[in-house]
């Protein structure tokens, strides 16, 4: 890649597209406030409205005065900043496919997405309820997922937008149990999404290696809805340059993001371990 052809806005957009494809957790959370950030340290004020009362109506009688709704405000802070900085030697570019820089940029997108997803996976500690099963197998995996759905139902969490992020051995158990609506295959509508598995019991099921453990053999899978977590990210300061003392093209960029649990009731932790 000749630096005279480097256009930061174009490469930023390309990297951002790679991020979206590589994400798992960032694809199942609320990203409504993404356009409101521009740099590290930005804050977004997220307002929520309390419940609305429903009352009996009596014909020919006045209704009550309008109620004042409770309001709460949560601050989402863009408090994470990660960068990449790589080079491609001129000799490598001459000897390899000219798309080597594109491939390197794709790898950068995967690495940034992996780091952000690992950050979001840590929010399992904020879940309002937990399903503890211990050893997971094809014989009990359906019951575990049903228990997670039940706990969300008990919290009056809508079924729209529900997700389930599980480790690889969980996916294996579902496949062996033949319970996935997609029979373990990739749905055509999600074929371009990293980690997509299928649908089951109202959940969009995803697989991730970024789920946390408790220091022993337990893995913390997560179930919930998009309203549980808010997330926002931005690619800043994409620069192409020629490093001093090197015959190479280099690219560096800054990725800033923030995430926060907005509704703990819409999040359930599944504490499971491989059989």
Q: For residues 109 and 172, state if they share a domain.
A: no
Q: Indicate the Cα dihedral angle 20, 26, 31, 37, nearest 10°.
A: -80
Count other C-beta atoms under 10 Å from residue 47's C-beta: 8
Q: Are residues 16 and 36 in the same domain?
A: yes
Q: Do residues 87 and 38 both lie within one domain?
A: yes
Task: For 93-119, write each residue's pLDDT tens digit.
Answer: 655 555 666 777 788 888 888 899 999
Q: Which two tokens stand for residue 106?
A: 């794709």
Q: Mark whether 30 and 45 lie in a shared domain.
A: yes
108 and 135 housed in the same domain:
no
In this structure, is residue 55 part of a structural domain?
no
Same domain, 249 and 219: no
- In the chain, the number of structural domains is 2
- pLDDT at residue 185 in the model: 46
Q: Are 215 and 256 part of one and the same domain?
A: no
Kindly compute the dihedral angle of the four CA atoms of residues 239, 244, 250, 253, in this order, to the nearest 10 degrees: -40
The pLDDT tens digits of the residues spanning 60-97 come to 888 887 776 665 667 888 888 998 888 877 776 655 55
Same domain, yes or no: 191 and 217: yes
Cβ atoms of 224 and 50 within 8 Å: the answer is: no
Is residue 225 within 8 Å of 157, Cβ to Cβ? yes
Nearest to 195 by CA among 187, 234, 82: 187
- Specify the pairing of strand 162-166 against strand 219-225: antiparallel
pLDDT of residue 192: 47
- Listing DSSP states for the chain in one string gives --GGG--HHHHHHHHHHHHHHH-SGGGSSB-TTGGG--STT-EEEEEEE---------TTSPPPPPPPPPEEEEEEE--EEEEEEEEEEHHHHHHS-TTHHHHHHHHHHHHHHHHHHHHHHGGGGG-SEEEEEEEE-TTTHHHHHHHHHHHHHHTT--STTEEEEE-HHHHHHHHHHT--TTTTSPPGGGTTSTTEEEEETTEEEEE-S---B-SSS-EEEEEEEGGGEEEEEEEEEEEEE--TT-SEEEEEEEEEEEEEES-GGGEEEEEEEE-
Do 147 and 242 reside in the same domain of the chain? Answer: no
Domain extent for 168: 128-228+264-274
Residues 240-271: tens digit of each pLDDT: 888 888 888 888 888 888 999 989 999 999 99
Instruction: Give pTM, 2 decimals.
Output: 0.76
Identify the pLDDT of residue 1: 46
Within this chain, do residues 110 and 237 fall inside the same structural domain, yes or no?
yes
Q: What is the pLDDT of residues 164-221, one digit of tens each?
A: 999 999 999 999 998 876 544 444 445 446 788 888 999 999 999 999 998 888 999 9
Give the list of residues 6+ apart from residue 151 with CB closer than 8 angstroms, or none: 129, 131, 268
In whole angstroms, give the CA distance from residue 30 to residue 258.
Answer: 12
Q: Are 34 and 19 in contact (CB under 8 A)?
A: no
Clarify whether residues 222 and 137 are in a common domain. yes
Q: Are residues 206 and 176 in the same domain?
A: yes
């Amino acid at each position: 890649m000749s630096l005279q052809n480097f256009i930061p806005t174009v490469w930023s957009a390309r990297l951002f597209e790679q991020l979206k494809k590589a994400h798992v957790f960032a694809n199942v959370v609320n990203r409504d406030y993404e356009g409101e950030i521009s740099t590290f340290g930005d804050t977004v004020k997220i307002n929520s409205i309390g419940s609305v009362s429903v009352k009996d109506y009596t014909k020919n009688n006045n209704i009550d005065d309008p109620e004042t709704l409770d309001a709460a405000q949560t601050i989402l802070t863009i408090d994470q900043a990660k960068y990449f900085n790589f080079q491609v030697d001129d000799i490598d570019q001459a000897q390899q496919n000219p798309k080597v820089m594109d491939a390197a940029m794709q790898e950068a997108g995967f690495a940034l997405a992996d780091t952000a997803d690992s950050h979001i996976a840590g929010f399992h500690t904020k879940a309002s309820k937990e399903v503890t099963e211990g050893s997971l197998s094809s014989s009990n995996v359906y019951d575990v997922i049903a228990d997670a759905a039940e706990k969300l139902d008990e919290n009056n969490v809508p079924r729209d937008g529900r997700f389930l992020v599980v480790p690889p051995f969980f996916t294996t158990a579902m496949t062996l149990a033949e319970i996935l609506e997609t029979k373990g295959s990739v749905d055509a509508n999600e074929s371009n999404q990293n980690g997509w598995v299928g649908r089951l019991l109202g959940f969009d099921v995803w697989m991730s290696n970024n789920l946390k453990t408790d220091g022993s053999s337990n893995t913390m899978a997560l179930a919930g809805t998009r309203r549980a977590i808010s997330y926002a990210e931005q690619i800043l300061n994409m620069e192409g340059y020629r490093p001093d003392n090197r015959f190479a093209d280099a690219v560096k960029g800054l990725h800033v993001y923030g995430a926060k649990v907005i509704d703990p009731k819409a999040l359930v932790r599944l504490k499971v371990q491989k059989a």
